[in-house]
Every structure is written in structure tokens, then in C-alpha cells.
A and B are shown apart, each in its own frame.
Chain A
């Protein structure tokens, strides 16, 4: 038998749900604390410290809740795609659970990005919604999330559901770079990338730091919620196992 490499050892170290729960109990209080602190600091920066924009005025403050939500929408789908690949290639026991539990969180962040974007769009563009490349691809991402969640709900056999969901997770990932580059590839009302771009951020530092802090707050919130949801998933599997044992008796 082949010996496992360092990376494989690390990957399989927390493959056991019991080991994972031990890690989770240690990490969760820290994640919660850091999230609260980052949100407090981020909201202070977004609402009080950051100056109004010279063209948009106070409307620019929507950016601090809209942009991090859009970042999370794309990041969480990337996590789902990675979890799908891990589940299909290495059959890691927690990979499909990671994908399944990340999807509702990702759907909520995508919904939030669409709602706040719409509230920003109305006074700036004069329309709540336009079917341009960026908005349409984000709407498609929202549908992909719903489809992914639907697969887990509709297919009763967990193994088959995991396989179908993993394939969908990987295929749907094509949409993530499309969202990112849609503003460069097609004409769009949406402004081009101004933070994550070649040549560095195009935003004034006084506006950039609250945005980065809010981005980190959203990220730690996602990590915290995903860990709790994975705990629920493990507990759910144990409940199902006990119920099956009960039926067997």
C-alpha cells in the first residue's frame, strides 16, 4: 500500500467526524468573537468614518454591505466546487457535507447582493434591475444555488444525491469567472472591478479600509455559520444512523 503524503495526511486527519467536532469546538468561539469585533469595526468605518463619494454622495455607503455579499456569493460557490471535486476524486467523508451545508449560506449572500444591488441601482441607474451581463450571471448563480439545494432535498438516496450535487457543483463553477469578468467582456451598466484588479485598488484608502474590514467580517461570519451547519449535518447523520438501527432492532 502507498504511504500518504503530507497534504493527504492533513486532509484525512479531520476526515473523522469526531476529530472534526473536536476542532470545531476549539475554533468556533474564536470565530464568533472575531466576527463580532470585525462587524463593529466595519460598521463604524462604513457609516461614520468613511467620507461620502464626490458623485454618489451618501449612496456609496451601500457598497459596504453590497460588495462583500457579492464576494461571498462567489467564494462560497468556489468552496462548493472544491468540496465537490474532493468528494468525487478522494471520496473524503466530510466533503459532500461541506458542499451541502455551504449552499444555503451562499444562496442567502447572493440574495443579499441582489437586494442591496437593486437598492443601489434604482437611484444611480434609474432602474431596480437590468438584464445586463453582471446582474444576469449573478441571478444565474442564485438559481445554481437553489438547484444545488434542491438536489439534496429531492434525491432520497444520500450517496446518489452527493454524486449528482458534486457534478452540478463542478459544472456550475464555470459561472464564477463569468461573473468576475462579465464587466470586462461585455458592455454593462455595472462598474468594473475596483478592488480586486491588476494594478491595485482604484478606491481611496479612506473608503477601502472599511470595505476590506466588512469583507473580512462577512468572511468570518460565513466560516462561523458553515462550521455550525456542518456540526448540524454530522448530528443529523448520527440521528439517521440511530433511527436505522432502531428500525433494524
Chain B
């Protein structure tokens, strides 16, 4: 590519616009995915932590009944 060619600024601008749009799109999609995945993991951990005592209690009750 000859940088002294006439109108070369348009070529550079086109490639710069491509870089900005593609990088912006990639970043937006990847960041959104990471944020949502982290939110789901947090929610699952919260729910399993809330269920854990009650499930333990259920097992304890069942074992008590089995022992009677």
C-alpha cells in the first residue's frame, strides 16, 4: 500500500471504522455474556445455599423415620 497515494485518508478511515465497529461488537457481546454468566452462577450459588439446610433437614427427618 502506498501511503502517499491521493485520497489515502479515505482508505485509512474505512479500515479504522471497520476496526472500531468490529472491536466494539466483539467487546459488547463478550462482556454481556460474561456479566450474564456470572449473574447466573451467583443466583445458582445463592439458591443452592438456601436449599442446603432444608435438604439436610429433610434427610435427617427421613433417617429418623427409618430408624423408628
Q: Bits for A237-249, please: 1 = Cβ < 8 Å to B, else 0.
A: 0110011001000
Decide if A148 is an interface residue (CB 8 Å cutoff): no
Given A58-B5, A65-B15, A229-B33 contact (CB < 8 Å): yes
Are A235 and B2 neighbours in the complex by a CB distance under 8 Å?
A: no
Q: Bits for A218-249, please: 1 = Cβ < 8 Å to B, else 0.
A: 00010001001101100110110011001000
Interface of A, helix, strand, loop or mixed by DSSP? helix
Decide if B52 is an interface residue (CB 8 Å cutoff): no
Given A61-B1, A225-B26, A232-B18 contact (CB < 8 Å): no
Given A62-B14, A242-B47, A57-B6 contact (CB < 8 Å): yes
Tally of chain B residues near chain A (CB < 8 A)? 29
Alpha-carbon gap, A108 to B11, bound state (A): 19
Cβ–Cβ < 8 Å partners of B37 in chain A: 231-232, 235
Are A225 and B29 neighbours in the complex by a CB distance under 8 Å?
A: yes
Cβ–Cβ < 8 Å partners of B11 in chain A: 58-59, 61-62
A residues with CB within 8 A of B: 47-48, 52, 57-59, 61-62, 65-66, 69, 104-105, 108, 111-112, 115-116, 119-120, 122-123, 221, 225, 228-229, 231-232, 235-236, 238-239, 242-243, 246
Closest 3 CB pairs of A and B: A58-B5, A123-B7, A232-B33
